[in-house]
Amino acid sequence: MTTRQAKLKKDFLEKYKDAKTELKYKNNYELLIDIILSAQCTDKRVNIITPKLFKKYPNTKKLAQANEEDVKDIIKTCSFFNNKAANIIKMAKTVEEKHNSKIPNNEKDLILLAGVGQKTAHVFLGEAYGENFMAVDTHVFRISKRLGFTKAKNVLNAEKDLVRVFKTDLNTLHQAFVLFGRYTCKAITPLCSECFVFNDCKSKDKIK
């Protein structure tokens, strides 16, 4: 890690030491569903949809028995709701059949669940258990390129670069980068004039 990268890591960890996901959840079941639904959808939208979903299906047992059309109807304002409805029901069935009604706590089992890829598993394990995992979504990808942490062309390679550079505190950095990308280093109009890493950013003059 370069001196500059170490300084940025320290700055982000200080500023976002209490960073938490903006998804609303009460347990690991709700958290995993939130994360699945949030793919290509906003956390705000997910938080609007899920109270009704969790009221009707409060656990994997209930969701495993759900009528797919009913679930679709509840989550229909979420992007890709057809696939997501099918996936969360399938996920619940697998958790019932193979995991004794408990959401798995390891990557190997998580990524075998419907709708759960590596990114979802990493976000889940980082949030639920504070495990040292990085996950790269659109915000993390954008700010990592702007701040020069990676030159990767895809999120998986970007994740490898971030893990290699930062090594520890990856779950906190992930959440910090998400919030920073969502509210400060925004895609179209980044708020450079109020950015706390302005002096360390080489992209600020290149973004129109």
The residue among 129 and 198 lying less far from ligand SF4, judged by its C-beta, is 198
Residue 173 engages ligand SF4 in binding (rule: CB under 6 A): no
In the set 9, 72, 84, 137, the catalytic residue is 137
Cβ neighbours, 10 Å, residue 18: 7
The region of 13-21, 39-47, 92-100, 195-203 touching ligand SF4 under the rule CB under 6 A is: 195-203
Q: What is the secondary structure of the chain as a DSSP string?
A: --HHHHHHHHHHHHHTTT---SS--SSHHHHHHHHHHHTTS-HHHHHHHHHHHHHH--SHHHHHT--HHHHHHHTTTSTTHHHHHHHHHHHHHHHHHHSTTS--SSHHHHTTSTT--HHHHHHHHHHHH--S-----HHHHHHHHHTTS---SSHHHHHHHHHHHH-SSHHHHHHHHHHHHHHTS-SSS--GGG-TTGGG-SSTTT--
Q: Are 172 and 134 spatial neighbours (Cβ–Cβ below 8 Å)?
A: no
In the set 119, 186, 200, 204, the catalytic residue is 119
User: Residues 139-158: x/- map of binding to ligand SF4 (CB under 6 A)?
Assistant: -------xx-----------
- In angstroms, what is the minimal distance from the CB of 196 to ligand SF4? 8
Residue 178 engages ligand SF4 in binding (rule: CB under 6 A): no
The region of 22-30, 102-110, 152-160, 196-204 touching ligand SF4 under the rule CB under 6 A is: 196-204
Closest to 39 measured CA to CA, from 69, 83, 74, 70:
83
The residue among 72 and 174 lying less far from ligand SF4, judged by its C-beta, is 174
Active site residue 161: no
Residue 5 engages ligand SF4 in binding (rule: CB under 6 A): no
Active site residue 137: yes
The residue among 69 and 194 lying less far from ligand SF4, judged by its C-beta, is 194
Residue 207 engages ligand SF4 in binding (rule: CB under 6 A): yes
- In angstroms, what is the minimal distance from the CB of 125 to ligand SF4? 27
Residues marked as catalytic: 119, 137
Interface with ligand SF4 (CB under 6 A): 146-147, 184-185, 190-192, 195, 197-198, 201, 203-204, 207
